[in-house]
């Protein structure tokens, strides 16, 4: 029986696009993750200008939107986790 070790690498963001209904994060390895924008009420209610004002956190482990004080982790997106505010309002995931 053979075995081999698989090194788990942390997924890192390299870019972000926010449409009227979707958050799309491009990872450094070329993958794209998308989630419904409604999962992130602060972004959902933000102006288009505020949605484009983002910066990467920690070399891409997350994204920060200073205008709406929103932080989203790449790990959370990969796990399909909506924001705490979305969950707190009793809205079920799509």
CA distance 24 to 27: 10
- 69: tokens are 């004080």
Supply angle C-alpha 31, 6, 23, rounded to 5: 20
| Residue 61 DSSP SS3 | coil
**Mean of pLDDT values over 65-92:** 90
93: pLDDT strictly greater than 60: no
Q: In this model, does residue 94 exceed pLDDT 90? A: no
The continuous run of DSSP H or E covering 64 comes out as strand 62-65
In angstroms and rounded to an integer, the radius of gyration of the C-alpha atoms of the chain is 15
Indicate the pTM of the whole model: 0.83
Third-level CATH fold of 13-88? NE0471 N-terminal domain-like (3.30.2020)
Q: Which residues make Cβ contacts (< 8 Å) with residue 45, sequence separation at least 6?
A: 68
Pick from 91, 1, 2: nearest CA to 39: 91
pLDDT tens, residue by residue, 11-57: 999 999 999 999 999 999 999 999 999 999 999 999 999 999 999 99
């Amino acid at each position: 029986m053979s075995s081999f070790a698989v090194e788990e690498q942390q997924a890192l963001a390299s870019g972000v696009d926010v449409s009227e209904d979707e958050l799309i994060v491009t990872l450094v390895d070329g993958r794209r993750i998308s989630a419904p924008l409604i999962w992130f009420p602060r972004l959902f209610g933000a102006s288009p200008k505020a949605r484009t004002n983002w910066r990467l956190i920690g070399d891409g482990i997350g994204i920060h939107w200073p205008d709406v004080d929103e932080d989203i982790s790449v790990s959370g997106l990969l796990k399909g986790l909506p924001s705490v505010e979305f969950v707190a309002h009793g809205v079920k995931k799509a």
